[in-house]
Amino acid sequence: MNQIQSVLITGANAGLGREAARQLALRKGISKVYLACRNPTKAKAAKTALERETGRNIFEIVLMDVTDPVSVRAAVAELSTQIDAVILNAGGTGGQNPNSLTSDGVTNIFATNVLGHVVLVDALLERQLVTSTILYAGSEAARGIPKMGMHRPDLSDGTVDEFKSIADGSKFGPEGDPMQTYGYAKLTATLWMGAMARQHPHIRFVTMSPGGTAGTAGFDDLPLMKRIVFKHVGGVLMPLFGMMHSVEAGAKRYLDGLLNPEFKTGHFYASQIGYPTGPVVDQANIDGTLSDITTQDNAQQALRQFA
């Protein structure tokens, strides 16, 4: 594995992505941080602010909309140098119409959290542009957070068809609760990462949850009342009960997973059962489904039918 000197971060203009970029720039040995963003104005503002805050001119904008595979492939085609590591951070609850289908046949929430990142990783690997580590922003929602109203995703049999029904939303119907379908999307991506780790042993594939993070942009697209509860009321009360921590703490988890080789390829690390904060542990010790090879391969095979 090469020493990590350059990192590309999706969703890098705000929240966890921006904070991860800031923390990376303060690390010795990091010489380039690519800010993969879909909005050029916000990207430029983030780049300017990060340069001012860190005193380093190492940030480069890559225009990319992870909900649009065409945009992702075009962005990768423009890259001319190898990148050591990638943080697949972009995500959220799918905008105002999370259950509507994109032109690729997946729901908006699935496109945002999963499909675009699958396309990105495939394109980078095809051009041999990534040399060391790919880190996916997992979530405790993939194994359930009952105290936050997120039930454990219930796989009936973990077949290819079931994962396809998660991707296209038919498992949930047009009125599916985005807080629940979010967990299924994160679970599918986590399983895909496990399959990729076995198929590409020269690259580390680590899934790391940033945990319950106050101030993140991930829930900006929730309906008004849920957004108020999670971002404003929850942002004040949940940290008091150990249900949220700072964006700085969440981004540090990314850096730990990226730079510490003790976090093993193909594994999913997140908080201990019951809370989305605190020390991270290998989630396979909590839910054996996460390390089941057949289920991982089924998730990947389903994704290949959309990517």
Q: What is the DSSP letter of 117?
A: H
The per-residue b/e assignment along 214-243, b for 16 or more CB within 10 angstroms, e otherwise, is bbbbbbebbeeebeebbbeebbeebbeeeb
Q: Mean pLDDT throughout 102-130?
A: 97
Question: Which amino acid does the sequence have at 20?
Answer: A
Q: How confident is the model at residue 240 (pLDDT cuts 50, 70, 90)?
A: very low
Q: What is the pLDDT of residue 215?
A: 62
What is the pTM assigned to this prediction?
0.91
Cβ count within 10 A of residue 19: 27
Burial class (CB in 10 A: 0-12, 13-18, 19+), 190: buried
Angle of the 116-126 helix axis to the 69-78 helix axis, nearest 10? 30
Q: Which residues pair with 208 in a beta bridge?
A: 137, 269
Would you give the distance in Å from CA 144 to the centre of its chain?
Answer: 16
Distance CA 141, CA 292 (A): 18
Q: Which residues pair with 280 in a beta bridge?
A: 271
Distance CA 148, CA 274 (A): 10
Q: Which residues pair with 235 in a beta bridge?
A: none
**Statement: residue 53 has pLDDT above 90:** yes
Residues 6+ away with beta carbon under 8 Å from 258 = 4, 7, 85, 87, 133, 135, 206, 208
Q: Domains of the chain, with CATH numbers? A: 6-304 (3.40.50.720)
Encode pLDDT of 66-93 as tens digits.
999 999 999 999 999 999 999 999 998 8
Encode pLDDT of 269-303 as tens digits.
999 987 789 999 999 999 999 999 999 999 999 99
Encode pLDDT of 222-236 as tens digits.
555 555 555 545 555
Average pLDDT, the chain: 91
